[in-house]
Structure 1
Amino acid sequence: MSIPDDLRYTKDHEWIKLLEDGSAALVGITDFAQSELGDIVFVELKPAGTKLKAHEVFGTVEAVKTVADLFAPVAGEIMEVNGSLDAAEVVNQDPYGEGWLVKIRIDDPASLAELLDAAAYRELIGE
């Protein structure tokens, strides 16, 4: 199970990676989440320009057996939705790379400190 050390995590199994400019970040679901969901067949996300509160639903992931809500790790605005998700299986194949979901402009970058680091996330999922 892959859990990169340079990301922050939520208890709902989303990850967030701060980009170089310090005010934007990529968000996706963890390797653990995609593994638990099984084959992902469809991803539905709110459009660019949507303002989000922390923990607000910003979309859903549909797998063969279930549909799961996606929760914003921090408050911000969706800047971009990953166009590669037309082929939803990319989330299973590369959850931390090509399978990212949205790029957001973060309202308060300091809020990332409230999220789990890799060690705490490993503990959460029993790794």
Structure 2
Amino acid sequence: MTDLRYSKDHEYVALDGDLATLGISDYAQSQLGDIVFIELPEVGKKVTKGKEIAVIESVKAASEVYSPVSGEVVEVNPELGEAPALVNDDPIGRGWLIKVRVSDPGECASLMDDAAYSSFLKTL
């Protein structure tokens, strides 16, 4: 994957041109515990930075996922319906949530790179 950028809500963006792969960070999945269900948006849905895009249910709790960028959903991870635990096993790889055609790639500039996100995690 390309360079990752992170939000303070522990979502990541892997931007490739105007296509962004979105998911939750390894830290987020570890905090949730065993994931048992994921509700994803429909292809074609418009998403807005900072607004809810998905719900992840674990044995501990249900948690909202917020979009770190604005755009249109062009793909959802088809494997997560049958195997939501992929997010636990490989959150940055096979456990991605959705792909979005980004309306403003400049929104990624406000997100943290790996080093800044690692420093942020140390404050939690």
- Per the normalisation by structure 1, the TM-score is 0.92
- For 1:36, what is the secondary structure of its paired residue? helix
2:39 is matched by which residue type in structure 1? E
> Within 2, Cα distance between the matches of 1:35 and 1:111?
27
8 A Cα contact 2:2 2:14, kept in partner = no
Deviations 1:36-93 (A, max 9, x none): 1000000001111110111110010000010000000011111111001021000000
> Within 1, Cα distance between the matches of 2:91 and 2:10?
11
1:125 is matched by which residue type in structure 2? L
Asked if 1:109 is matched to 2:105, the reply is: yes
1:55 is matched by which residue type in structure 2? G
Structure 1 gaps of 5+ residues are none
Q: 1:46 to 1:93 in 2, by over 3 A?
A: same
1:117 is matched by which residue type in structure 2? D
Of residues 35, 38, 42 in structure 2, which corresponds to 1:43? 38
Asked if 1:96 is matched to 2:92, the reply is: yes
- For 1:48, what is the secondary structure of its paired residue? coil
1:21-100 → structure 2 map (5 Å cutoff): 22-86=17-81, 87-100=83-96
8 A Cα contact 2:2 2:15, kept in partner = no
After superposition, the CA RMSD in angstroms is 1.5
Asked if 1:13 is matched to 2:3, the reply is: no
Deviations 1:76-121 (A, max 9, x none): 1111110010210000000000000000000011111111111111
What percentage of aligned pairs have identical amino acids? 47
Point out 4+ residue stretches in structure 1 off by more than 6 angstroms. none
The answer for the alignment partner of 1:118 in structure 2 is 114
Compute the displacement of 1:5 (Å). 8.6
Q: How many residues align?
A: 122
- Per the normalisation by structure 2, the TM-score is 0.94
